[in-house]
Amino acid sequence: MRLSLILTILPIKRKMLNMAKVKIVGDYLLGSDGAAGIDLYAKSIEYDAKTGIVKYGTGVKVEIPEGYVGLLFPRSSVCKKDLQLANSVGVIDSDYRGEIFAVFRATHQCLFGTLGWIKKKLFWFFDKKPKFYELGDRVCQLVIIPTGSIEFVDTTEEELSESERGTGGFGSTGK
């Protein structure tokens, strides 16, 4: 027998009872009323051609309330660039007060060219100038979320409880 679950989602107004206030210095953009985070702009660029690392300074500093964390994600426009965020998601802790940087890694296409075929011969070619964000572009988005209270308890491996999944990882639960 197959059960179907239907969820009804009631509209929730943007104003919440315990809305956290985040102090912020610098330029940012809240793209829409429904945006989960704010877009940050490239105010400085450092590029290391040897490593392919592109570091964007945003000029933004924040004071995130205790019990919250800032998560730095690439914008969806990154798919149009030859970049990927170097650490997948940046974590901005509530006690950090420095400038927020977005560090990207240049993708292999712009570093090493593209593999191609001409008249059954394999060759490398370089398409054109790499597509990076420029000064003034929105480069990343900052989302602030609550972290909850966590207490870590030192233990031994034998004291960990059994679970259905066990030690299976990396796709062990299916496609």
Please report where in the chains the tokens 């059994």 appear, as a residue.
162
174 inside domain: no
**Is 0.85 topped by the overall pTM?**
no
Q: Which DSSP symbol is given to 161? A: P
Contact yes or no for 118/84 (Cβ under 8 A): no
> Which tens digit of pLDDT belongs to each residue from 132-153?
888 999 999 999 999 988 889 9
Whole-number Å distance between alpha carbons of 7 and 2: 16
> Which tens digit of pLDDT belongs to each residue from 17-43?
567 899 999 999 998 988 999 999 999
Q: Which domain holds residue 107?
A: 23-145
The per-residue pLDDT for 109 is 54
| Residue 27, domain CATH | 2.70.40.10
The per-residue pLDDT for 8 is 42
Residues in the chain: 175
The per-residue pLDDT for 175 is 58
The per-residue pLDDT for 128 is 57
For the chain, which ranges sit under pLDDT 50? 1-14, 111-117, 122-125
How many domains in the chain?
A: 1
154 inside domain: no
Please provide residue 109's backbone torsions phi and psi, each rounded to the nearest 5 degrees.
-60, -40
Contact yes or no for 53/86 (Cβ under 8 A): yes
